[in-house]
Structures are given as structure tokens and as C-alpha cells.
């Protein structure tokens, strides 16, 4: 029986982004096309086209997106390239770069909101196969932990927390934590709010047991939060079990695609994360804002994050902020590890970090720690 | 800093099944209606109706389902009653029956394959709100852990394992583990294979920290398995990120609904779970089949489970088998806790139990333990 605690380190992080670049101009043109199609459809159906207010939902521009969102471009998967495929490319690179044999992995936590398949099979099983992780050891079935984990934009940090619990308690030694999303398949091209934001990427992080004295984390350095009273502000109206797709009309109208009340997100999440949320999390960790050397925030929107950071700076934060630079969009479960993978130079031994997931639910998941070993960080983007 | 291990007990289990009963005869009639509609559609589209082989996919009977599946009836949710709603009714009863104040819950793990909403919001956040769990404590944000966890029919046992890791490592003290699914919304009425099987239910289990000497479990009493090489045998063709719904035709054809190769499931899963799977899991736990007093298997199909149990009995198993008696169908993430909730009399202190989840992925998740405290078990069915 295990009678020992373990610490955890992040031995490596790899990321993959599909090569298909969608500039703000391309997104804007795609929305314009959707507007023309919708206008023609409405003329047939109700005798007149889009009203001025309705047409505005399709209108955007490179200048507007750069100014109010901070994104210049994003990547979209190619046909047939689901979340598992993005994760596989990141996962293979992770095993190669860290010199990890597939047979040394004892679990996969797959953080995503865009599963490759509805209901079944789970992505964790697809990754076991795609990464060549053996199912037998010495002729008998080899134990392999796994689960698909979803908590909106907090999925990845929440999964790192679950990985820590498994490793700390001695239940696993080496876990691959995926953070991957094909968000392009959730875009409603009749609604600029998410169309100007979302992108696709896959990441893989190797979480390894280390002696407790080398632990990067601690139980009190994870903090989580749920507030379902604002569940409606980032919501997919139909296609889930509360409102299953009943007719073709549901798909035509895009009710199975993600929708957001952007103003409410800003009004609720920004004050929370910039004030009481970070205060509660740091209070539990026993840290101060000025002790954070390097942070990565879920890249929902760079201007939104700047508003949060401005408040943190007033509270003493002077650390480095790692981002994907607005070049990959909001990749949901991939965003924090993608930013880390693109800034490997900043992840040096001795630095104290903070990871911040927040979004739909509403949910938030935060993790603090100290880098105590060199990390193997690669980005294939 | 936490420097202590904890044990875990299951303080209580509650279940809820919606009142709408679908007998085998009703399922059979619904399939017959779908056959007539499909036949008429094909006559229009291709000039002739269903072939003999095609028509067979719609044919079933009460006698056939009882004989080959072992189910007599199942429950279906009413309109608008999603997985979160089934879980809420079970969760409220759990808190009442165990005398747990909502403010004493520090996390929700929501095991399900049928999320109430695609992408966002997560069900864990909906449950926080529905169960009245406070978001503030002493005027500051109250920590609340949570995640939606999906691993096909192994989701619930996998979530109990994750709950154990959180509690053992001192990261949580009192978790609600939901096991709930509205499987009726995944049924393709043109395919008898799942239509004769699936049902809806919600369950809630209270996982509580206890001193290690009272631990019901141990790290080595959990065993997990993934084999993605058989991912295709229980799969939803479209609607996930690998093949998003592109046109109304996808919904008309039911490609967004669950499909199964029933023969392959039997040929792969039955030999695995009845032989090397249980051997590996018990080997890790240091137990023998004859030490299990009471077991609950995922109720995919009672005849399939009987085939597994027949092999176990040859290996020395003489324990009691808890089931939902074929009256609730295959409720996926709810099936094991539903069977437990319906058989509270069997869950007495001192008995050694085994929980067995297995299914799509393929995946399996097993847990063994000893009941060391009275459980508060209720079923609202």
C-alpha cells in the first residue's frame, strides 16, 4: 500500500496548431458571406431582408478585432481533423522531446470542450491508441488511467489539478494532460461575437512524480470556483441533453453552436478575476501578487486580459505575462499551455508561476507553483 | 500545508429516475413507426422502400428484448429535462438524506456522457447553482472544485477514483460525485441496437474524508484500462469535432446519434472483463474473486453481464450481484450507483464490494473496497 506523498513537476509541454491561417480579414469576409446568404433567405421567408440591427451581428473588421479583442489571426483545422488529431500531434512531440517511452505513461487526462465524438468513444481512449501506449505488459492488461475532462475555459488548469491529486496520492506517476480544442466547429457564422475570437490548437503536458521536496505545487496552490448563476452568458442553446436537436431547423439556425453575451462576460469575469478571485486564490496559497514571476491567463481576449492585469499591477504584480500574442485566437482548453509552449525561454528554474483558467459556467481554476527542474518545451505552430 | 493522508467513505447514494416508463412494447412500437416513416421516405427518394435486411434493423419485440438483453422497461426524461435536471433531483435528496449543508460541499465531479449543453456551460456549474451551494463564505469567494468527466460507460467509477485522489491527498473533504445520463436523447430510432437498451437516470454519491484507518478504499484498489483500437464499436458518427454537423442532412440521417456493433462489444468486452481484466484489477488490489461479497456491474445488458458473472463464478466468485433488475435500461454513467441505490439492504458494514464500469473507448474502470460505516441510500424511482 502506498504510504508516501509525491510532488509533481511539469516535465514538458508541446503544442500543435493546424497550418490553416484565418486572418481577421478572412473572418470578416466569411461573416459577410453569411450575411448575404441570411439576407437572401429572409427575403424568401418573410418578404424582407436583414434589419439594420440584425445586419450588425455580421459586421466586423481587422481594425475592430485588433483594437477590441487584440487578435490578429487564428488557425482552423482542416476537414476531418478533430480535437483528438490536434492532441495526437502535440502528444507525439511531447513523448519525443521528453524522451518518454509510451509504455511509461500511466494515464491520460484529456481536457477539452470539443470532444472528437459525442457520447463515445472518449478522446482519452483515442489518444492511448494514437500515442502507441501498450495495452499489455508481460502478457497481462496494463493499467491505464484516463478521462475526458470539461470545464469550459478552465478545463486545462482543472485537469492539472486532478493530475496533481493522482500523483500526490501515489495513484499515478506519469500522466499526459492534454489541452486541446477544435473551437472552429463551434462557430456560428451569423454571430460575430465568437466568430472573431475562436481558434484551434492541441497541447500536451507531461506531469511527473518527483520527491515531495522537489514538488512544484502543493495542495493549497490550487484554487477553483463555480458560479452557475451566470451559466447563460456563455451557452450553446441546443444539441445538449436539455434541448436535443429535434429537427433539421435546429442546425440551420445554428442553435447547436456556441453563443456569448460578451458584455456580461466582461462585466462579471473581469472584476471577479482581477479582484476577489485572485485574492482568494493567493490567500489560500499564502502568496502575494508581487511574488508571481510569470503568469499565463486563458487567452479569451487580450484586451479583457489587459483589464485584469491592470488591476493586478495596481495590487503589486510586476511579473512577466506569457501570451500567444493574439495569433491563435481563443483556443479554450489549449490556451494556457499554448502560451507556455511559445515562451519556453521564460520558464526557467526558480521562477514562480501562476496559471489562470476562467470562463463558461462560470468557472475558474487557478494554479501556482515554482519551476524546480528544466522543462522541455516545444511548439509546432 | 497538508501533510496528511485521508481515507474516503461513500456517506450516501441517491438516485432519481424520471416517471415516464417505456416498456419493451412501447419501444418496439416506436421503432415500427420509424420503419414506416423511413419506408415512405425511401419510396419517394429511390423508388422502392426498405429491403428485407434494412427493415430488420427496426424489428424487435418484448420477448426478444427480455430474452437477449434482459430488460423489461426503462425511463425517459420529459421535454426539457436534461442530465443536469436528473442530477439535481438526486443531488438534493442526497444532501437531505445525509444531512449535508450545501455549504459543506467542496466539489462536484459530474460523470456523464450527455452534457446538458454542448461546449458550455459545464454541468458542474449548473449543479452548484441548483444545489444552492454558496459562492461566498465570510464575504469572499468560496473555493468550489468541479469538472465534467466523461469516459463512456466507465465515467462514474473513473470519477469515484478521481474523488478518491482529491480526498486522499487532502485537496478536498466532501465531494458530490454525480453519475447521470439522459441517454434517450442519443437514440437513433432507425437502429434497434441501442433503442432497445438505453434509459435515463440521475444519481448523486457523497464522498467524504475519513481517517486513514477507516478508509473504504486504497490507491491500489482502483484499476483503469483504455484500448482505443476498438474505438469504432461504440461510436457516434457525426456531431463531434472530427465530423461536425455541416448540414441538416446529418441530423435527418441520425448520424449525430449513438451507434454500436453489438456483436463486437460482446466479443471483445465479455472475454476481457470476465478474464484478464478482473484478474489484473484484483491482482493489483491483492484480492481474490471469492473475497467479493457484493458487486455492481455497469448494466449494459443483463445477459452480457450474466456471461461475465458465469466466468467469475468459475473462478470462485460467490458474492451477491446488485442490479437495477432490467427496469431502467442502460443508464450509462448512472447504472452502477443506481443499482446500489436500489439495493441499500445489501450495503452493510463489513462487506467487501466491487464496482465495474466498462464500455465505449474501449474503457474499463474498477474499484474495490470495504464498507466501514453505515450508508444513507435512497431511490426516488
Nearest residue in A to B272, CA atom: A141
A194 plus A234 within the same structural domain: no
Q: Do A119 and B236 touch (CB under 8 A)?
A: yes
CB neighbours of residue B263 within 10 Å: 10
Q: How confident is the model at residue B254 (pLDDT cuts 50, 70, 90)?
A: confident
Q: Final residue of a domain: which of A214, A235, A269? A: A214
Strand pairing report for B200-210 and B174-182: antiparallel
pLDDT reported for residue A246:
73
Minimal CA separation from B345 to chain A, in Å? 30
B181 plus B157 within the same structural domain: yes
Q: Do B241 and A83 touch (CB under 8 A)?
A: yes
Residue B229 lies in a domain: yes
Q: Compute the residue count for chain B.
A: 381
d(CA A251, CA A166): 40
pLDDT reported for residue B1:
45
A35-73: pLDDT as tens digits: 999 999 999 999 999 999 999 989 999 999 999 999 999
Q: Do B276 and A141 touch (CB under 8 A)?
A: yes
Residue B365 lies in a domain: yes
For the cut 50, the answer to whether the pLDDT of residue A1 exceeds it is: no
Alpha helices in chain B (DSSP H): 24-46, 52-56, 62-68, 83-98, 123-130, 155-168, 192-195, 248-252, 262-272, 278-285, 302-314, 335-341
For the cut 50, the answer to whether the pLDDT of residue B244 exceeds it is: yes
pLDDT reported for residue A245:
84
pLDDT reported for residue B251:
64
B210 SS3 class: strand
d(CA B29, CA B27): 5
Q: Do B219 and A361 touch (CB under 8 A)?
A: no
For A361, the closest of B80, B125, B164 (CB atoms) is B125
CATH value at residue A306: 3.40.47.10
Residue range A275-304: mean pLDDT, rounded: 96
A340 SS3 class: helix
For the cut 90, the answer to whether the pLDDT of residue B230 exceeds it is: yes
- Identify the residue with better confidence: B46 or A249: B46
Residue B34 lies in a domain: no
For residues A330 and A199, is the Cβ–Cβ distance under 8 A? Answer: yes
Please tell me what DSSP assigns to residue B274. Answer: I
Minimal CA separation from B36 to chain A, in Å? 18
Residue A63 lies in a domain: no
B158 plus B291 within the same structural domain: no
Q: Do B143 and A236 touch (CB under 8 A)?
A: no
For the cut 90, the answer to whether the pLDDT of residue A128 exceeds it is: yes
Mean pLDDT of chain A: 95
Mutate to test the interface with B, among A103, A121, A138 (most CBs of B within 10 A): A121
For A228, the closest of B128, B219, B258 (CB atoms) is B128
E-strand stretches of A183-319: 200-210, 222-226, 234-235, 259-260, 294-297
pLDDT reported for residue A3:
61
For the cut 90, the answer to whether the pLDDT of residue B109 exceeds it is: yes
ipTM of the complex in this document: 0.97
For A236, the closest of B119, B150, B165 (CB atoms) is B119
Q: Final residue of a domain: which of B214, B245, B263? A: B214
Q: Do A149 and B149 touch (CB under 8 A)?
A: yes
Q: How confident is the model at residue A248 (pLDDT cuts 50, 70, 90)?
A: low
d(CA A185, CA B132): 34
For chain B, how far is it from start to end, CA to CA, in angstroms? 44
B226 plus B210 within the same structural domain: no
In the block, cell 474473486 appears at B289
Q: Final residue of a domain: which of A214, A234, A253? A: A214
A4-24: pLDDT as tens digits: 889 999 999 999 999 999 999
Minimal CA separation from B214 to chain A, in Å? 15
Residue A64 lies in a domain: no
Residue B277 lies in a domain: yes
Question: How many Cα neighbours within 13 Å face the side chain of A224?
Answer: 29
For chain A, how far is it from start to end, CA to CA, in angstroms? 44
Q: Do B149 and A144 touch (CB under 8 A)?
A: no
Residue range B228-241: mean pLDDT, rounded: 94
Q: Could you give the percent of chain A with pLDDT greater than 90?
A: 92
B210 plus B223 within the same structural domain: no
Residue A371 lies in a domain: yes
Residue range B348-357: mean pLDDT, rounded: 98
Strand partners, B235: B259
Q: Do A5 and B1 touch (CB under 8 A)?
A: no
A181-232: pLDDT as tens digits: 999 999 999 999 899 999 999 999 999 999 999 999 999 999 999 999 999 9
pLDDT reported for residue B245:
84
* Spatial CB neighbours of B13, under 8 Å, sequence gap ≥ 6: B94, B203, B204, B205, B206, B337, B340, B341, B375, B376, B377, B378
Q: Which residues of A touch B212 (CB under 8 A)?
A: none
B248 plus B376 within the same structural domain: yes
Residue B120 lies in a domain: yes
pLDDT reported for residue B249:
64
For the cut 50, the answer to whether the pLDDT of residue A110 exceeds it is: yes
B300 plus B184 within the same structural domain: no
Please tell me what DSSP assigns to residue A357. Answer: E
Q: Do B251 and A248 touch (CB under 8 A)?
A: yes
Minimal CA separation from A380 to chain B, in Å? 21
Mutate to test the interface with A, among B120, B136, B357 (most CBs of A within 10 A): B120
For A171, the closest of B182, B219, B227 (CB atoms) is B219
What domain count does chain A have?
2
B226 plus B354 within the same structural domain: yes
For B120, the closest of A164, A235, A242 (CB atoms) is A235
A202 plus A266 within the same structural domain: no
The range of the structural domain enclosing residue B176 comes to 7-22+74-214
B105 plus B166 within the same structural domain: yes
Q: Do A140 and B283 touch (CB under 8 A)?
A: yes
A16 plus A129 within the same structural domain: yes
A257 plus A375 within the same structural domain: yes
Mean pLDDT of chain B: 95
Across A53-67, B44-58, B101-115, which has the greatest mean pLDDT? B101-115
Least Cα distance to B170 among A108, A357, A218, A173 occurs for: A218
Q: Which residues of B touch A362 (CB under 8 A)?
A: 121, 125
In the block, cell 465479455 appears at B270
Amino acid at each position: 500500500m502506498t504510504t508516501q506523498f509525491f510532488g509533481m513537476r511539469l516535465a514538458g509541454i508541446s503544442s500543435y496548431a493546424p497550418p490553416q491561417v484565418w486572418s481577421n480579414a478572412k473572418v470578416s469576409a466569411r461573416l459577410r458571406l453569411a450575411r448575404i446568404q441570411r439576407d437572401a433567405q429572409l427575403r424568401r421567408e418573410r418578404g424582407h431582408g436583414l434589419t439594420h440591427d440584425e445586419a450588425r451581428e455580421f459586421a466586423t473588421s481587422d481594425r475592430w478585432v485588433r483594437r477590441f479583442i487584440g487578435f490578429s489571426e487564428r488557425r482552423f483545422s482542416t476537414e476531418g481533423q478533430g480535437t483528438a488529431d490536434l492532441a495526437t500531434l502535440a502528444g507525439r512531440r511531447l513523448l519525443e522531446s521528453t524522451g518518454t517511452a509510451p509504455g511509461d505513461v500511466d494515464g491520460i487526462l484529456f481536457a477539452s470542450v470539443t470532444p472528437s465524438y459525442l457520447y463515445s468513444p472518449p478522446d482519452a481512449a483515442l489518444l492511448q491508441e494514437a500515442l502507441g501506449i501498450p495495452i499489455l505488459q508481460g502478457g497481462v492488461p496494463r493499467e491505464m488511467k484516463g478521462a475526458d475532462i470539461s470545464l469550459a475555459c478552465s478545463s486545462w488548469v482543472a485537469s492539472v489539478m486532478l493530475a496533481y491529486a493522482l500523483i500526490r496520492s501515489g495513484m499515478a506517476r506519469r500522466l499526459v494532460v492534454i489541452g486541446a480544442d477544435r473551437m472552429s466547429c463551434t462557430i456560428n457564422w451569423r454571430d460575430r461575437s465568437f466568430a472573431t475570437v475562436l481558434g484551434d490548437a492541441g497541447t500536451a503536458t507531461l506531469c511527473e512524480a518527483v520527491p515531495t521536496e522537489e514538488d512544484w505545487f502543493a495542495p493549497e496552490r490550487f484554487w477553483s470556483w463555480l458560479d452557475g448563476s451566470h451559466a447563460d452568458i456563455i451557452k450553446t442553446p441546443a444539441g445538449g441533453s436539455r434541448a436535443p436537436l429535434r429537427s433539421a431547423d435546429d442546425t440551420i439556425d445554428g442553435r447547436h453552436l456556441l453563443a456569448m453575451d460578451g458584455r456580461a462576460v466582461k462585466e462579471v469575469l473581469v472584476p471577479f478575476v482581477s479582484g476577489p478571485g485572485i485574492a482568494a486564490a493567493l490567500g489560500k496559497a499564502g502568496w502575494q501578487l508581487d511574488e508571481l514571476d510569470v503568469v499565463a491567463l486563458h487567452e479569451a481576449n487580450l484586451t479583457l486580459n489587459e483589464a485584469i492585469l491592470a488591476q493586478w499591477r495596481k495590487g503589486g504584480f510586476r511579473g512577466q505575462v506569457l501570451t500567444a500574442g493574439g495569433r491563435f485566437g481563443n483556443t479554450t482548453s489549449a490556451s494556457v499551455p499554448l502560451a507556455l509552449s511559445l515562451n519556453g525561454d521564460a520558464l526557467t528554474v526558480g521562477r514562480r508561476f501562476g496559471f489562470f483558467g476562467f470562463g463558461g459556467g462560470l468557472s475558474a481554476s487557478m494554479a501556482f507553483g515554482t519551476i524546480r527542474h528544466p522543462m522541455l518545451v516545444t511548439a509546432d505552430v
